[in-house]
Structure 1
Amino acid sequence: MERRERDIEQYFRNECRKRGFLCLKFVSPSRNGVPDRVVVTPAATVFVELKKPGSSLRKIQRVTHSKLRRHGAAVYVVDGRRSADRLLAELSDGRRPVAEPNDHETF
């Protein structure tokens, strides 16, 4: 079981590549709290926050994710292989994931 966020991010990035998805590192120099990755698939473009198991979003992340969602963006939190696999399976099936979590839940 992965214990570090970077392990989860590496797993997620590798699984995206296997599926032919673009998995872009998202950095916004003038704004804190943006999700870690932008995933572009034929089905959807989504933002993904990667967390280690059991960790919570910081307040600035919750606020920023809420703003993105209010503007129509899909934002998901992945906290391990199982949640990564669930999200990527739905995107692989050509669907936009239906269970978009609120600010405190993971996918």
Structure 2
Amino acid sequence: MASESASAATGGGTAVEELASEESQTTQPWVTVVWDDPVNLMSYVTHVFSTYFSYPKDQAERLMMQVHMEGRAIVSCGGRDCMERDVQAMHSYGLWATLDKAE
């Protein structure tokens, strides 16, 4: 409480807190989510995961099965720019993908 009143009395603190909040939002991890679709074969989705993300075949197959059985899978996580790039890459392969904040 004392630091809040001192901060309010000097007029500082709020701008710093807002900046810190904005920074945490931009540096918070993001994820690329691939969704199940009725078009692509399971073998093709496995191939995309192996090719683009360089996942070993067993990991690519696990992710593909998660997409198939659960309807979606998180295939990568990181900064927003990188995840936007991954989503665009998945679209270029014909997969349904979206960007979301990591929980």
| TM-score normalised over the length of structure 1 | 0.27
- Structure exhibiting the larger radius of gyration computed from Cα positions: 2
Q: Which has the higher contact order (CA 8 A, sep 6+)?
A: 2
| TM-score normalised over the length of structure 2 | 0.28
